[in-house]
Amino acid sequence: MKFIITSLKLLRTLQALSGVLNSNNTLPILDDFLFRIEGDDLFITASDLETTMIITLTPDLVEGKGEVAIPARILLETMKTFPDIPVTFDIHPDNLTVEINAGEGKFKLAGHRSDEFPLLPKMFDTSRVEIPAEVLVNAFEKTIFATGNDELRPAMSGVLCEFKEDHLTFVATDAHKLVRYRRTDSKSEHNASFILPKKPINQLKNTLSLKQEEPVILEFNQTNAFFSFNNIKMVCRLIEGRFPNYEAVIPTQNPNKLTIDRAALLNSLRRVSIFANQSTHQVRFRITGQELFLSAEDLDYANEAKERLSCSYEGDDMEIGFNSRFFQEMLNNIDQNEIRLEMSAPNRAGILFPVDNDNESEDILMLVMPVMLNQ
């Protein structure tokens, strides 16, 4: 079993796959990449039992067929040191020794038996949908920051994917903030919903290209989701459990509407929040007329900050407190120049919308819970 491939091509593939690997695996074989040659193609696999990713390459030369597991860390570190040159891999099936020849260097390492490597789960009773890569990338980038980390509520540690006949919706929440990303230019033949874990979402986000013309083919059932695009396949186990009824927590009557420049508000929040209490990160929003006053204080250190911003406001004068870190995260994940903050009362959630979104088929709603103000 032998193949020749350029080092840069292989390195990029291994780096893309390395995101699947865990640093503390229960099975030693999960520290390896699985190399399989079939016909003229080389299939490289990484797995952590929950997520498995396979990338197909066509080497410059292939001899024989078979498979071997190669230690990931030492292979990655070695490939990083090479310039872009042809690299020859020669695998001896009798003792699984892997010989690597590159330029004037020769390297040898011990491979492992492939039969210990986890098999791909069998997919039965699947539904199928094709989604443009740009839709998936934007949906994941706009929602993943709002996912939770509470082990007692695993359903909130992923992104809810809802497929309807007239739109696709992606939702994430950690009970303090919530993001609903909806696309009306993508749809599904069947209504379905499932919760994707964070790790495969990050993998997809990092490997998908916004300019990719081919759609992503997604097949899913009750337990797994299978993604296929270009030369990449990925299967992941879905999160079990019920996602919170997110529609119920979005207030519909919000008479107080604040419109303001996103960058100006974000920069002001960054400055003022430096002086806020470092455990609550509380910043006070006081809106009177067409002016927004931001203020924060840390009584323990006698720190205090205030700033005034011009805005457009409809509604009654009000004061409301927000966690500045959550608010900044949301502003960082809005691309438009202006945002609208809709509120009903100081103890009810505030709703953020981008203003003048060029993409009419994109609907973004962000919700942030208020914090109790110190009087």
Clarify whether residues 320 and 219 are in a common domain: no
Clarify whether residues 94 and 137 are in a common domain: no
pLDDT band at 375 (very low <50, low <70, confident <90, very high): low
Clarify whether residues 131 and 236 are in a common domain: yes
Mean pLDDT of the chain: 95
Print the domain residue range for 131.
127-166+184-240
Domain membership flag for residue 177: no
Q: Indicate the residue among 240, 258, 287 that finishes a domain.
A: 240
What is the mean predicted confidence (pLDDT) over 38-65?
96
Domain membership flag for residue 173: no
Domain membership flag for residue 352: yes
pLDDT band at 217 (very low <50, low <70, confident <90, very high): very high
Q: Indicate the residue among 199, 218, 240 that finishes a domain.
A: 240
Query: Closest Cα partner for 276 from 320, 331, 324, 326?
Result: 324
What pLDDT does 213 receive?
A: 84
Q: Indicate the residue among 116, 147, 174 that finishes a domain.
A: 116
Clarify whether residues 279 and 360 are in a common domain: yes
Clarify whether residues 192 and 277 are in a common domain: no
Domain membership flag for residue 66: yes
Clarify whether residues 263 and 358 are in a common domain: yes
Looking up residue 274, the CATH number of its domain turns out to be 3.10.150.10
- Phi, psi angles (nearest 5°) of residue 198: -65, -40
Clarify whether residues 309 and 341 are in a common domain: yes
pLDDT in tens, 8-35: 999 999 999 999 999 888 899 999 999 9
What are the b/e assignments for 46-75, b being 16+ CB within 10 Å?
bbbebbbbbbebebeebeeeebbbbbbeeb
Domain membership flag for residue 333: yes
Clarify whether residues 147 and 97 are in a common domain: no
pLDDT in tens, 147-160: 999 888 999 999 99
* Residue 354 confidence (pLDDT) above 80: yes
Domain membership flag for residue 254: yes
Query: How many domains, in total, are found in the chain?
Result: 3
Query: Closest Cα partner for 250 from 365, 135, 357?
Result: 365
Q: Letter for the amino acid at 96? A: L
Map tokens 């186990």 to a residue.
237
What pLDDT does 74 receive?
A: 97
Report the 3 state secondary structure along the chain. CEEEEEHHHHHHHHHHHHCCCCCCCCCHHHHEEEEEEECCEEEEEEECCCEEEEEEECCCEEECCEEEEEEHHHHHHHHHCCCCCEEEEEEECCCCEEEEEECCEEEEEECECHHHCCCCCCCCCCEEEEECHHHHHHHHHHHHHHCCCCCCCHHHHEEEEEECCCCEEEEEECCCEEEEEEECCCCCCCCEEEEEEHHHHHHHHHHCCCCCCCCEEEEECCCEEEEEECCEEEEEECCCCCCCCHHHHCCCCCCEEEEEEHHHHHHHHHHHHCCCCCCCCEEEEEEECCEEEEEEEECCCCEEEEEEEECEEECCCEEEEEEHHHHHHHHHCCCCCEEEEEECCCCCCEEEEEECCCCCCEEEEEEECEECCCC
pLDDT band at 211 (very low <50, low <70, confident <90, very high): confident
Clarify whether residues 106 and 189 are in a common domain: no
Domain membership flag for residue 76: yes
pLDDT in tens, 86-140: 999 999 989 999 999 999 999 999 999 999 999 888 888 899 999 999 999 999 9
What pLDDT does 357 receive?
A: 87
Domain membership flag for residue 321: yes
Clarify whether residues 320 and 341 are in a common domain: yes
Clarify whether residues 75 and 162 are in a common domain: no
* Residue 293 confidence (pLDDT) above 80: yes
Clarify whether residues 151 and 236 are in a common domain: yes
Burial class (CB in 10 A: 0-12, 13-18, 19+), 247: exposed
- How many Cβ atoms sit within 10 Å of the Cβ of residue 258? 23
Burial class (CB in 10 A: 0-12, 13-18, 19+), 4: middle
